[in-house]
A and B are shown apart, each in its own frame.
Chain A
Amino acid sequence: MTTGRLPSVEGGIQPTIVDAKGDLITATAADTPARLAVGTNGYYLSADSTASTGLAWASVSAGANWSLLNSGGTALTGATTVTVSGISGKDKIMILVEGASSATSNIDINWRLNADTGSNYYRYGIQLNSPTAYSSSSLSAYGGSTDRVRLGTMGTNAAATVSGYVLLTGCNSSGVKSFQSAGAGIEGGGVNQVMYHFGGYYDSATTISSISIVSNSGNLDAGTVFVYTSA
């Protein structure tokens, strides 16, 4: 059995420093403990060099609202590519395409970012063809990269159109941008319209400054694109 002196206790924090449930023991300087009362429900503790303890309770900031960037939308007419540019400092972009059509029937309507024609769009998902009768070959899967992302394919008639949406996040970052994209063509009295539903990412370090709607062949001759952004 070992015998000896108990070590002396020097400068210990007294229990009286805390007064209430949730109190935290912090410091205002070297060797200077201090009490920090619990914050409001739902608040989080953040570093704050202006506070005496270097800490402060803060509220979670509310999500940013969506706002329409191109008031009234931009007409999808008179060009094979219609671009909405001037996007800056926005992390989320939502693209809504309504009734897009090309002068050539049965054409793919696609989207691109920053006018980038490289194979930097990695999309994964499904294609659903709409022939006169459904068969096992009507449904197919996509994976890997492409130089544009299909939103939909018009049916084999000039009256056919394509509608759909794209939701992009990470647009103001230097990393990849993730997206969800879905759209479909209507028959317009024809057949062979196609629906696509993809998720994936755009592999580029450049922040997004523009979006484009692209016809595979022939000028766009109907429809509107709406571009919403959020911080």
Chain B
Amino acid sequence: MKITEKEYNALTGKTTITERDETAQEVAEREAAEAELVTRQAEANAKAAQRRAILEHLKITEEEARILLGGN
């Protein structure tokens, strides 16, 4: 994957854009970040599903649950 970098030089007022290949370290970091994102989203989806199931079981709405728990 290409990496695009933008630089604004405050002395000259010029903006330059360069494109280069990712370094091995950047590839590893990007892949780790993307894997973490997948994990986070899966966790978030699972929690949301769990929450919906509990609300359904209790037959209350999201707003009623918030009031019940004393949150905002």
Contact = CB atoms under 8 A, between A and B. Distances in A.
Contacts of A87: 10
Interface residues of A, number: 32
Contacts, number: 80
Nearest to B15: A74
B10 A85 contact: yes
A70 B47 CA distance: 43
Interface string B12-39: 1001010000000100011001100100
A83 B7 contact: yes
A226 B36 CA distance: 30
Interface in A36-91: 69-70, 74, 77-88
B63 interface: no
19 contacts: A70-B8, A74-B8, A78-B6, A79-B4, A81-B6, A82-B6, A83-B5, A83-B7, A83-B8, A84-B10, A85-B7, A85-B10, A107-B33, A107-B37, A156-B37, A190-B44, A210-B7, A217-B29, A219-B4
Top 4 nearest A-B pairs by Cβ distance?
A86-B11, A86-B10, A79-B6, A83-B7
Interface of B: 3-12, 15, 17, 25, 29-30, 33-34, 37, 40-41, 43-44, 47-48, 51
